[in-house]
């Protein structure tokens, strides 16, 4: 009887599956038992070929060679993956292997990773899909009992290929035509450019903002029931004329007033929804200042390595009814793992099932919301980031099974000499789900207003005027940008389009973090703590796109519609051919319009200096492959290559090196022996670039100093 080959996305998943299936021998490059081989892909192994892989002449970025739209897309191995591909190929083509199981991550990208391997190798052997939403032993057993036929995932595969090919067409042609036309490396993309446009539009609003002064009037009133403060209101709660503000102050000062309205009501506040990836990233950014990428990395580790949470790259915030047992297990586990006080009563699962804000089968497709798996949490074994993210997930999970929070809200309207003042208070009287979050949950509370009958006479104790001014809209943080990307439809004026885009946005939960990091890497954005600021280069690129104009390339609504169509392709509601025809049409339009655009100095506006040459003092500017002295043609040799030992050097890192002589620690360099390392880049004598390694901190009792080690490239 033949064997089955399981291909996973990562080695860690292969090992987890082997532990569950049992009795495997480690063959270094794969695992084997009597029934299965298991091997792994290590992420993307195969990618779409570059234009020069079709014909060598396309290696040169010439305008005359664009657009490049292949009739059929070719595949090729990603650099240095040949050995891994050969292992998989040999196993697939082995006479022992009768069928294959796709065990890559359960989603669009996981499907693409497997399909590209399958197609590149050219096999026709039958395959099935292992769909894992959790890495626990029970979940793995359950998924193997419910293996899906490969053909059932065909629509998901089509959507994945559409995403890949459309990004390639727009990215390759857009980047090449802009770079060739304006002689500066300009990276554009189907999703990254509209995302940049959102940030640039906000920056323009900030730069063009002119503050307007206004005045607010406050008064303190006293009665037998107590004192309270009111804010003047007459349609608006402010005036834009200082004389008018002073008149109101004088009109009210020392006068008696009357309570004309009093309300005292209780309001219920429902619990929040469970986390999807985007909401988790938003909260981690607001609370801890984590980047979206940092949160995703931690969540992925909690899922893969520690088996503590369900699949994190989800866009659902609901659970299906078949998860009841896991929910109860999770609740009971948290009782033993740090949340005893919050779980002292057994979970009322029958009542919880009635809550459509938690259990709703119609709101769950491929993946449900992120929840604990029920595995025991060994907090001490988790890194700091992982502890913080796990704590967020646990508290959100617990909170949805608590009752509503109840607030007491009072409102008083006071009339003094025909001027009206409003007073409000909000007090939490039953914490409900907010109990899970402790003291921080009551930050919205205000001091309780006294209970006063309508018609009560009050005395105006004092009146004062506060001068303020309107503020520019805030710059985006990663939290607010993720919201903007998710709800790109809100940025659209057309109501019909808003409705169309309710379920779509820019990118997917799994890709948004990478898009933000890419914009920073290519020098279009700078990150200052939580804030994202467009660079001059990023601003000028969007200005250039709008001036051509290629509005579609920077259009959130169009890209949002494409994302929606990818989802429709997965559901069989839109065809792959129609989608790719639209993308090819856009690609032709982009290339045609850029070719026709005259250079009105856009290059000089975008290629601002990143510093001055350490050899001759001339400006250092960016080109396609390096940051170099502008007098390189005259013989100045100073050059900082963008690729150093496999690591791409960002504009910000280059600027820091040239202006300060040293970068921060950079991770991801790869030695000739294939080992990854981190180091600072330092500017050495003669304009040479070197590495600086910090030696390990000396042990107690070791008198040797911890000195940096410098190495030239």
Whether 157 contacts 569, CB under 8 Å: no
User: Structure tokens of 232?
Assistant: 């003047």
Whether residue 286 sits in one domain with residue 250: no
Give the mean model confidence (pLDDT) for residues 606-632: 83
What CATH number does the domain containing 241 carry? 2.70.20.10
Q: Is residue 624 pLDDT above 80, yes or no?
A: no
The domain that contains 134 carries what CATH number? 3.40.50.140
Tokens of 476: 């985006």
Strands 148-149 and 213-223: unpaired
| pLDDT category of residue 705 using cuts at 50, 70 and 90 | very low
pTM of the model: 0.80
CATH of the domain at 579: 1.10.460.10
Q: Looking at the domain assignment, is residue 669 inside a domain?
A: yes
13 in the same domain as 136: yes
- Per DSSP, the residues of 460-491 read EEEEEEEEEE--PPPPPBHHHHHHHHHTGGGG
CB 690 within 8 A of CB 713: yes
Q: Which of 603, 629, 654 is the last residue of a domain?
A: 603
- Give the pLDDT of residue 711: 59
Residue 423 included in any domain: yes
Residue 336, SS3 per DSSP:
helix
Work out the average pLDDT over 666-686: 86
Which of 69-73, 100-104, 135-139, 700-704 bottoms out in mean pLDDT, i.e. has the lowest?
700-704
Q: Are residues 251 and 358 in the same domain?
A: no
Per-residue pLDDT reduced to its tens digit, 317-349 = 999 888 898 999 999 999 999 999 999 999 999
In this structure, are 194 and 114 located in the same domain? no
Question: Rounded distance, CA 189 to CA 172, Å?
Answer: 8
The answer on 485 and 451 residing in a single domain is no
Burial of 160 (0-12, 13-18, 19+ CB in 10 A): buried
Instruction: Give the tens place of pLDDT for each residue, 28-78.
Output: 999 999 999 999 998 899 999 999 999 999 999 999 999 999 999 999 999
Q: Is there a single domain that holds both residue 141 and residue 7?
A: yes
Q: Is 674 left (phi over 0), alpha (psi -120 to 50) or beta?
A: left
Active site residues: 311
**516 and 594 fall within a common domain:** yes
**Of 112, 146, 180, which one is at a domain's C-terminal end?**
146
Report whether pLDDT(629) > 60.
yes
Q: CATH number, domain at 283?
A: 1.10.290.10
- Could you tell me if residue 151 is inside a domain? no
Last residue in a domain, options 115, 146, 177 = 146
Residues 432 and 505 in one domain: no
Q: 535 with 555, same domain?
A: yes
Highest mean pLDDT among 177-181, 224-228, 518-522, 671-675: 224-228
Number of structural domains in the chain: 5
Q: Is residue 319 part of a domain?
A: yes
75 found inside a domain: no
The answer to whether 652 touches 676, Cβ cutoff 8 Å, is no
For residue range 417-430, list pLDDT tens digits in order: 999 999 999 999 99
**Do 489 and 623 lie in a common domain?**
no
| Domain encompassing residue 703 | 609-712
Does residue 340 share a domain with residue 230? no
562 pLDDT above the threshold of 70: yes
Q: Are residues 128 and 185 in the same domain?
A: no
Q: What is the tens place of the pLDDT at every residue in 271-322?
A: 999 999 999 999 999 999 999 999 999 999 999 899 999 989 888 899 988 8
In angstroms, the CA 116 to CA 112 distance is 6
548 domain residue, yes or no: yes
Is 382 inside a domain boundary? yes
Structural domain includes residue 64: no
């Amino acid at each position: 009887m033949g064997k089955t080959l399981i291909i996973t996305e990562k080695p860690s998943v292969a090992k987890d599956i082997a532990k569950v299936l049992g009795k495997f021998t480690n063959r270094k490059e794969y695992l084997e038992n009597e029934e299965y081989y298991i091997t792994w892909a290590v992420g993307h192994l195969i990618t779409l070929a570059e234009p020069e892989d079709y014909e060598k002449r396309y290696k040169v970025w010439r305008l005359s060679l664009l657009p490049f739209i292949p009739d059929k897309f070719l595949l090729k191995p990603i650099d240095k993956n040949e050995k891994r591909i050969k292992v998989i190929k040999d196993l697939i083509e082995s006479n022992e292997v009768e069928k294959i199981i796709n065990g890559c991550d359960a989603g669009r990208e996981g499907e693409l990773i497997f399909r590209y391997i399958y197609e590149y190798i050219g096999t026709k052997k039958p395959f099935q899909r292992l769909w894992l939403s959790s890495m626990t032993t029970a979940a793995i057993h359950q998924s193997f009992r419910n293996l899906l036929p490969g053909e059932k995932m065909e629509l998901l595969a089509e959507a994945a290929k559409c995403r890949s090919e459309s990004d390639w067409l727009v990215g390759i042609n857009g980047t090449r035509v802009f770079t060739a036309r304006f002689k500066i490396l300009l990276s554009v993309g189907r999703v990254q450019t509209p995302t940049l446009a959102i940030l640039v539009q906000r920056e323009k609003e900030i730069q063009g903002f002119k503050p307007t002064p206004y005045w607010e009037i406050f008064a303190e009133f006293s009665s037998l029931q107590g004192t309270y403060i009111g804010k003047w209101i007459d349609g608006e709660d402010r005036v834009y004329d200082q004389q008018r503000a002073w008149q109101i102050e004088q009109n009210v000062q020392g006068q008696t007033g009357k309570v004309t309205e009093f309300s005292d009501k209780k309001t219920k506040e429902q619990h929040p929804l469970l986390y999807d990836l985007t909401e988790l990233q938003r909260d981690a950014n607001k609370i801890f200042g984590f980047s979206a990428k940092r949160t995703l990395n931690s969540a992925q580790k909690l899922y893969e390595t520690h088996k503590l949470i369900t699949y994190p790259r989800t866009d659902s915030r609901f659970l299906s009814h078949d998860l009841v047992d896991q929910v109860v297990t999770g609740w009971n586990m948290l009782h033993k793992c740090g949340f005893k006080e919050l779980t002292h009563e057994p979970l009322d699962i029958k009542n919880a099932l009635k809550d459509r804000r938690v259990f709703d089968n119609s709101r769950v497709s491929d993946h449900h919301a992120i929840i604990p798996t029920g595995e025991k949490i060994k907090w001490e074994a988790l890194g700091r980031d992982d502890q913080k993210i796990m704590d967020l997930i646990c508290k959100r999970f617990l909170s949805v099974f608590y009752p509503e929070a109840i607030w007491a809200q009072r409102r008083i309207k006071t009339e003094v000499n025909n001027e009206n003042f409003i007073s409000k208070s909000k007090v939490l009287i039953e914490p409900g789900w907010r109990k899970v979050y402790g003291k921080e949950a009551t930050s919205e509370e205000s001091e309780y207003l006294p209970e006063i009958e309508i018609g009560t006479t009050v005395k105006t104790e004092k009146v004062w005027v506060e001068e303020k001014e309107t503020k520019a809209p805030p710059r985006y943080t990663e939290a607010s940008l993720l919201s903007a990307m998710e709800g790109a439809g809100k940025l659209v004026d057309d109501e019909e389009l808003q409705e169309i885009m309710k379920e779509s946005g820019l990118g997917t939960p799994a890709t948004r973090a990478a898009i933000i990091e890419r914009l920073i890497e290519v020098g279009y954005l700078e990150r200052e703590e939580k804030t994202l600021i467009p660079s001059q280069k990023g601003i000028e690129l969007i200005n250039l796109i709008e001036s051509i104009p290629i509005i579609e390339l920077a259009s959130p609504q169009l890209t949002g519609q494409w994302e929606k169509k990818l989802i429709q392709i997965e559901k069989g509601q839109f065809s792959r051919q129609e989608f790719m025809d639209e993308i090819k049409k856009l690609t032709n339009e982009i290339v045609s319009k850029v070719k026709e655009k005259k250079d009105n100095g856009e290059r000089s506006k975008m290629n601002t200096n990143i510093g001055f040459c350490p050899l001759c003092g001339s400006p250092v500017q960016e080109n396609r492959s390096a940051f170099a002295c502008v007098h390189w043609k005259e013989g100045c040799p100073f050059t900082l290559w963008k690729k150093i030992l496999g690591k791409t050097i960002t504009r910000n890192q280059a600027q820091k090196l040239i202006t300060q002589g040293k970068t921060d620690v950079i991770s991801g360099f790869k030695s000739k022996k294939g080992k990854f390392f981190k180091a600072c880049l330092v500017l050495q004598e003669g304009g040479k670039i070197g590495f600086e390694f910090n030696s390990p901190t000396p042990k107690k009792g070791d008198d040797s100093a911890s000195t940096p080690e410098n190495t030239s490239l």
